[in-house]
Structure 1
Amino acid sequence: MKTVVLGAGIAGISTAWYLLQQGHEVTVIDRAEAAAMETSFANAGQLSYGYTTPWAAPGIPAKAAKWLFRQHSPLILKADGSLFQLQWLMQMLQNCTTERYQTNKERMVRISEYSREMFRRFEAETGMDFEGRKKGTLQIFRSTKEVEAAEKDIEVLAEYGVPYQRLKPEECLQHEPALHHALGKIAGALHLPNDATGDCHLFASRLKNLCEAKGAVFKFGHAVERFEHNGKQIQAVYAGGERFEAERFVCALGSFSRTVLADLGLKLPIYPVKGYSLTLPVTDGNEAPVSTILDETYKVAITRFDKRIRVGGMAELSGYGLSLPPERRETLALVVNDLYPKGGDLEKAEFWTGLRPMTPDSTPIIGAAGFNNLFLNTGHGTLGWTMSLGSAKITADLVCGITPEVRSDDLALSRYA
């Protein structure tokens, strides 16, 4: 079966991989000049299966109101002049109830845990090196108030059977020895041993090569222009001045899924949430992080690759712009310098920004939509890397008419009908 995948980020390339394994003839189309050059390029790097949780939760509106007026805030809200931004925010607020939080949490954990299993299978099959580590995530709290607030998160972890360990400040050194500089600033911590790390861009680039070896064709520099359809079925997509026919189409265009599919009359509730990162070379391995550290106060993650440190965080709702304000860089630099002052060279840090495709309920949109041969794999928010292989396998199964290994009927766009 001939299938076109729109998008060569981590979601699109992973989907192509599983389609190829099921015998499809796959063409992947992307406007960029290479694989994973946008949102997948320099994300925070953590495979945070245990930290999977909806943004929309009870108490979040009150927290968000406080964050907006704080220096080095984890949340930045700027009007983008669109009605959609207001509608999306309202939908998100409607999901901040206990009932909806539980529903959304279950969906997200289901996908993340399945993705963890798919990563296990993938690594056993291919042995691919993507600078991955399996040493867990350490979430640190800078105040007793944060420690107490974490008890609600711990209850959720226990409910879903996610392993965790409460830690006193000095016990953090068992997992992150270089935090000895910052012990006086830590009130407590939570360790999630099942989490992992890895360079998403490196993984996607090498997976693209594996896909090509299996016969996939990649068309870079091809922006989607329009679709040809009869109202029920898509016959072709025009991109980069070329026409591509197929029997099945998969949209994995992240934040741009909404704008590209709008011409088909589809209204995807996906908003581009801007995130930032710094990538700096390691100067002293003994003074650098071992795995991933999540700073609860600033909502910033610090992740170790082989010879680099990735610092990522913040959520800015301001539209599709990709500017790099110096004050965002200052926040990231402040956190990494505070916790690992001798670990990396900030003067050589690369500053980056990307747009995370976020739904109001934080759950990705996976499944058929609008046309009987169009499928979606998009809207993963901050968990695109974490959920990548699980979401891709579910999508490929649905495209092939195979019942996925985990429940998927509540992941489709129809849940917003």
Structure 2
Amino acid sequence: MSTITIIGSGITGVTTAYALAARGYSVTVFDRQRYPAMDTSFANGGQLSASNAEVWNSAATIIKGLRWMLRKDAPLLLNPSPSLHKYTWLAEFVGQIRHYRRNTIETTKMAIAARHHLFELADREGIAFDLERRGILHVYSNKTDFDAASRANELLRMGGLDRRPVTPSEMRSIEPALQGEHFGGFFTPSDATGDIHKFTRGLAAACERKGVRFIFGAEVSDIQADSESVLVRWEEGLSKNELRAQKAVICAGIGSRWIASMLGDRLNIYPVKGYSITVNLTDEASQKAAPHVSLLDEAAKIVTSRLGQERFRVAGTAELNGENRDIRADRIRPLLQWVERLFPGVCTAQVVPWAGLRPMTPSMMPRVGRGKRPNIFYNTGHGHLGWTLSAATAEMVADAVTTDARAAHRELPVL
């Protein structure tokens, strides 16, 4: 039986472990945390959103980012302090604007394929994760933003997505709890939401039933590969350990860049921080006032998910500030104020804040496939769409491992 090591037990690592175990591999997964899904896969916005597949590489994003630089509550915040990694990443991000159209269409295709795989996994393994298949409603406060969304919608439709414009009255029919004045919206009935942490933990348990071994609390200190095997060294407390396998898949989020450098690969991933709050709906009035249909407010860059009857997840913002996990009050406050303004009937007395670091490549496309060495593979760099794309990219990298193709790695997946 072929042996494979996976670094990382977030959503991409666990879906990859499952896909490889299903193909008959002996799989060992390493993670520095005590449990799976404790970093970026812990409390994200919850959207399984093919409708959010538009990549950010556009002149409009650059202009907005520059305009927002002096606002602490801005949806996109850039710390201007000098950093070679940050500014080289930004330069490559700008260079990818020419691929905006292609990458948006390909991401849409990938997201649609991923939904099928994820729902199938959940049904097969009986994973309960507060799934809501009510669609996602994008809301726009003015004609300029709506028209820009209309242009992006053409690319999403070219990728195969059913996303249609809706009037303000239709929006209130789709989600009666929605308040405020809106110019219009777009609705994607096939999109969904769910609790990424619950799903990943459930799938990790299914992996263990298939014989996957998880080693938690493991700080990987070194990884080496030759033509025959991969050697992983890690530390657990004061003990030092090592394991040799035939192949390895790197799914380590923002840590993938450092691991790739040890293996001779350049992987330009930058940690883009996102924030969320989970509003505990402890009374019946709040449960009725909170929306069930998932929303994306274009002006505020805020997304929502209803996680069962008693939780309401609100997430947003992008912060380029290095490997910084601080939960800043001035970044949480706009999320809270947004809830209080649009859903005043929701009690916000019990709110849990969170911040996570999204692993983003300059192209906004995940790195999926082989590295320079024939037995090293990558499934990482999904950015804000890790939850949305993971089930598809896991199948893609598992197919690459299984077929043992000799083609060079591809940053742009093709379905």
2:242 equivalent to 1:239: no
Instruction: Please tell me whether the aligned partners of residues 38 and 354 of structure 1 are also in contact (alpha carbons under 8 angstroms).
Output: yes
User: 1:94 Cα shift?
Assistant: 0.9
Which residue in the other structure is 2:186 paired with? 190
- Which of 215, 219, 223 is residue 215 of structure 2 equivalent to? 219
> SS of the counterpart of 1:363?
coil
Instruction: Please tell me whether the aligned partners of residues 41 and 200 of structure 1 are also in contact (alpha carbons under 8 angstroms).
Output: yes
Which residue in the other structure is 2:68 paired with? 67
For 1:3 and 1:111, the matched residues in 2 are separated by: 25
> SS of the counterpart of 1:259?
helix
Counterpart residue identity of residue 318, structure 1 = N
2:1 equivalent to 1:3: no
Counterpart residue identity of residue 224, structure 1 = V
Q: Give the fraction of aligned pairs with identical amino acids, expressed as a percent.
A: 33
User: 1:233 Cα shift?
Assistant: 5.2
> SS of the counterpart of 1:337?
helix
TM-score (norm 1): 0.92
Instruction: Please tell me whether the aligned partners of residues 108 and 156 of structure 2 are also in contact (alpha carbons under 8 angstroms).
Output: no
Counterpart residue identity of residue 19, structure 1 = L
Counterpart residue identity of residue 222, structure 2 = R
Instruction: Please tell me whether the aligned partners of residues 72 and 331 of structure 2 are also in contact (alpha carbons under 8 angstroms).
Output: no
User: 1:87 Cα shift?
Assistant: 0.6
For 1:75 and 1:253, the matched residues in 2 are separated by: 24
Ranges in structure 2 where 5+ consecutive residues have no aligned partner: none
Q: Per-residue displacement from partner, 1:318-375 (whole Å, max 9, x unpaired)?
A: 10011111110111111122222223x3221111100000011100000000211010
Which residue in the other structure is 1:87 paired with? 88
Alignment of 1:109-188 (within 5 A): 109-179=108-178, 182-183=179-180, 185-188=181-184
Alignment of 1:254-293 (within 5 A): 254-282=253-281, 283=283, 284-293=286-295
| CA 257–339 in structure 1, closer or farther in 2 if over 3 Å, else same | same
Ranges in structure 1 where 5+ consecutive residues have no aligned partner: 404-408
Q: Per-residue displacement from partner, 1:80-109 (whole Å, max 9, x unpaired)?
A: 542111110000001123xx1122123212
Instruction: Please tell me whether the aligned partners of residues 382 and 389 of structure 2 are also in contact (alpha carbons under 8 angstroms).
Output: yes
- Which of 370, 373, 377 is residue 379 of structure 2 equivalent to? 377
TM-score (norm 2): 0.93
For 2:408 and 2:145, the matched residues in 1 are separated by: 33
Q: Per-residue displacement from partner, 1:257-314 (whole Å, max 9, x unpaired)?
A: 0022222232101100000000111242221111211010110101100020111111
Instruction: Please tell me whether the aligned partners of residues 168 and 182 of structure 2 are also in contact (alpha carbons under 8 angstroms).
Output: yes
Instruction: Please tell me whether the aligned partners of residues 276 and 314 of structure 1 are also in contact (alpha carbons under 8 angstroms).
Output: yes
Give the total of aligned pairs.
404
Aligned alpha-carbon RMSD (Å): 1.9
For 1:78 and 1:390, the matched residues in 2 are separated by: 33
| CA 327–144 in structure 1, closer or farther in 2 if over 3 Å, else same | same
Instruction: Please tell me whether the aligned partners of residues 54 and 156 of structure 2 are also in contact (alpha carbons under 8 angstroms).
Output: no
User: 1:251 Cα shift?
Assistant: 0.3
Which residue in the other structure is 1:328 paired with? 331
Instruction: Please tell me whether the aligned partners of residues 278 and 351 of structure 2 are also in contact (alpha carbons under 8 angstroms).
Output: yes
| CA 68–383 in structure 1, closer or farther in 2 if over 3 Å, else same | same
- Which of 312, 317, 329 is residue 314 of structure 1 equivalent to? 317
